[in-house]
């Protein structure tokens, strides 16, 4: 994750064209239109070499070349986060996952899908067969499947089915060595991918649990059916990321506390005081509350305790001028929100919100969790080339 400070990070002009030759087999292109995060605050490098692999083998080849040539990789699905963690830095190769969007039905009550597929689109693909996903995001058609894993997602269905990490049977990951592995839910490494923001490897596909939309007897499982990415795009609308047109140009931010169910009223009072203190910062929307049931698995980077918890948060629109003047009140709110989080012993959804970089990680996470994450990073990505910047890392 990036170590951005207060306010906008300025794009930096660097020549991305040497990477075109290095990664010629992956069909690279150079773009000079900087990407932004979901809130439009952080900007990526203003010149960037981009690849969009169409297969797992191609991802493996890209990673192997990157390791040999000491090139850092920035992986981006649909960019549905506020902290700029998927924005390319100068000299990084941007790996887009949107063409990894195929769907396969291989084992009863599960579906295997590419990491770049919009989660809402996957839900639409399942509906005609009488199936759906137990947990998807609320709000907008934002995250990809891989992004929802890397952020450690949750939604309305979490009250019954738990966090997204409880509803994934297996993930396919390309490690920093260029090797692909399939990690099942009973593997010790598995829960660390949820909330890890892709720092342990590139998630290329996942096998998810499904549930019937109605009478289970009426849900016909289409075993053996394979839909390639082009077919999926023809059958289901690849939804646009972000707010609907009527909310265009308005910048949405959210701030989430994770608390034990018994402390939700207390957390609500803290949010009440924050919103009063920062009444002019946002046009607040109705507060959200998601109970998240613990069933069998805890995701240490999301909520470290193996218990049920609740997500409660403030969200709204913060309007700033064309030159992003007026960001100071936004960061004042963020600082107050983090202060409440730490002083009250709460957790927060740091993976999808404003904080980013080693300083934020060191301030927020317990030392034992950070130490384990560093050890896993060193093991899974020895060259520290995949999505670097979230942890203090050695020079190469």
List pLDDT tens digits, range 65-124: 999 999 999 999 988 888 888 999 999 999 999 999 999 999 999 999 999 999 999 999
Q: Over the stretch 229-272, which tens digit does the pLDDT of each residue have?
A: 988 877 666 666 656 666 656 678 899 999 999 999 999 999 99
Q: 35 in a domain, yes or no?
A: yes
Q: Provide the pairing of β-strand 202-209 with 168-174.
A: antiparallel
As a whole number of angstroms, the distance between CA 137 and CA 143 comes to 8
Q: Over the stretch 126-185, which tens digit does the pLDDT of each residue have?
A: 999 999 999 999 988 889 999 999 999 999 999 999 999 999 999 999 999 999 999 999
The number of residues in the chain equals 396
Q: Provide the pairing of β-strand 131-132 with 202-209.
A: unpaired
The dihedral formed by the CA atoms of 199, 202, 205 and 208, expressed in degrees to the nearest 10: -10
152 and 127 part of one domain: yes
Distances (CA, A) of 350 to 164, 178, 254, 388: 16, 28, 10, 17
Q: 378 in a domain, yes or no?
A: no
Look up the CATH number of the domain holding residue 216: 3.30.465.10
As a whole number of angstroms, the distance between CA 229 and CA 238 comes to 11
**Sign of the C-alpha dihedral, residues 80, 85, 86, 87?**
positive
Q: 395 in a domain, yes or no?
A: no
213 and 121 part of one domain: yes
Q: 377 in a domain, yes or no?
A: no
Domain final residue pick, 200, 235, 270: 235
What pLDDT, on a 0 to 100 scale, did the predictor assign at position 328?
87
Q: 265 in a domain, yes or no?
A: yes
Q: 230 in a domain, yes or no?
A: yes
In terms of pLDDT, which residue wins out, 394 or 113? 113
119 and 188 part of one domain: yes
112 and 227 part of one domain: yes
| Range in 214-218, 237-241, 287-291, 300-304 the model is least confident about | 237-241
Domain final residue pick, 98, 118, 133: 98
Whether 264 contacts 272, CB under 8 Å: no
93 and 122 part of one domain: no
Distances (CA, A) of 145 to 65, 103, 138, 225, 307: 25, 12, 14, 19, 25
As a whole number of angstroms, the distance between CA 128 and CA 136 comes to 17
From the CB of residue 34, how many other CB atoms can be counted at a distance below 10 Å? 18
Alpha helices in 86-181 (DSSP H): 119-126, 145-151, 158-161
Q: Tell me, what DSSP letter sits at residue 19?
A: H
* Boundaries of domain holding 55: 18-98
Report the domain count for the chain. 3
Q: 12 in a domain, yes or no?
A: no
128 and 220 part of one domain: yes
What pLDDT, on a 0 to 100 scale, did the predictor assign at position 4?
35
305 and 185 part of one domain: no
Q: Over the stretch 311-331, which tens digit does the pLDDT of each residue have?
A: 999 999 887 655 566 788 889
256 and 365 part of one domain: yes
116 and 43 part of one domain: no
- With vertex at residue 257, the alpha carbon angle to CA 253 and CA 263, rounded to the nearest 5 degrees, is 145
Q: 4 in a domain, yes or no?
A: no
Distance between first and last Cα of the chain: 18
5 — pLDDT class (breaks 50, 70, 90): very low
Look up the CATH number of the domain holding residue 87: 3.30.43.10
93 and 123 part of one domain: no
**Sign of the C-alpha dihedral, residues 203, 122, 313, 311?**
negative
What pLDDT, on a 0 to 100 scale, did the predictor assign at position 200?
96
274 and 351 part of one domain: yes
207 and 282 part of one domain: no
What pLDDT, on a 0 to 100 scale, did the predictor assign at position 243?
60
As a whole number of angstroms, the distance between CA 201 and CA 185 comes to 16
């Amino acid at each position: 994750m990036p170590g951005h400070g207060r306010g906008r990070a300025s794009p930096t002009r660097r020549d991305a064209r040497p990477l075109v030759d290095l990664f010629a087999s992956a069909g690279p292109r150079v773009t000079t239109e900087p990407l932004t995060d979901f809130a439009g605050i952080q900007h990526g490098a203003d010149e960037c070499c981009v690849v969009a692999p169409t297969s797992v083998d191609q991802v493996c080849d890209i990673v192997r070349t990157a390791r040999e040539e000491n090139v850092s990789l920035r992986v981006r699905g649909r960019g549905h986060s506020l902290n700029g963690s998927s924005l390319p830095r100068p000299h990084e190769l941007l790996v887009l996952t949107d063409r990894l969007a195929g769907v396969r039905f291989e084992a009863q009550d599960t579906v295997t899908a590419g990491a770049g597929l919009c989660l809402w689109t996957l839900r639409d693909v399942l509906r005609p067969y009488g199936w759906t996903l137990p947990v998807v995001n609320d709000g907008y058609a934002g995250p990809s499947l891989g992004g929802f894993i890397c952020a450690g997602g949750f939604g309305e269905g979490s009250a019954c089915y738990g966090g997204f990490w409880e509803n994934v049977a297996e993930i396919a990951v390309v490690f920093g060595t260029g090797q692909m592995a399939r990690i099942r839910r009973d593997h010790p490494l598995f829960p660390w991918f949820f909330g890890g923001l892709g720092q342990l490897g590139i998630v290329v596909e996942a096998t998810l649990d499904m549930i019937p939309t109605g009478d289970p007897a009426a849900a016909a499982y289409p075993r053996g059916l394979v839909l390639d990415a082009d077919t999926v795009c023809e059958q289901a609308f690849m939804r646009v990321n972000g707010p609907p047109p009527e909310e265009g140009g308005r910048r949405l931010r959210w701030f989430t506390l994770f608390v034990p169910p018994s402390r939700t009223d207390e957390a609500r009072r803290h949010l009440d005081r924050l919103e009063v203190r920062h009444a002019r910062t946002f046009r607040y929307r109705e507060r959200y509350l998601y109970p998240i049931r613990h069933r069998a698995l805890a995701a240490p980077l999301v909520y470290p305790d193996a218990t049920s918890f609740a997500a409660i948060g403030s969200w709204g629109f913060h309007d700033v001028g064309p030159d992003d003047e007026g960001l100071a009140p936004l960061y004042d709110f963020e600082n107050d929100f983090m202060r409440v989080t730490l002083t009250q012993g709460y957790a927060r959804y740091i993976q999808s919100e404003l904080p980013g970089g080693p300083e934020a990680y060191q301030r927020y996470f317990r030392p034992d969790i950070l130490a384990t994450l560093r050890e896993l990073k060193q093991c899974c990505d020895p060259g520290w080339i995949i999505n670097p910047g979230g942890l203090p890392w050695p020079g190469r």
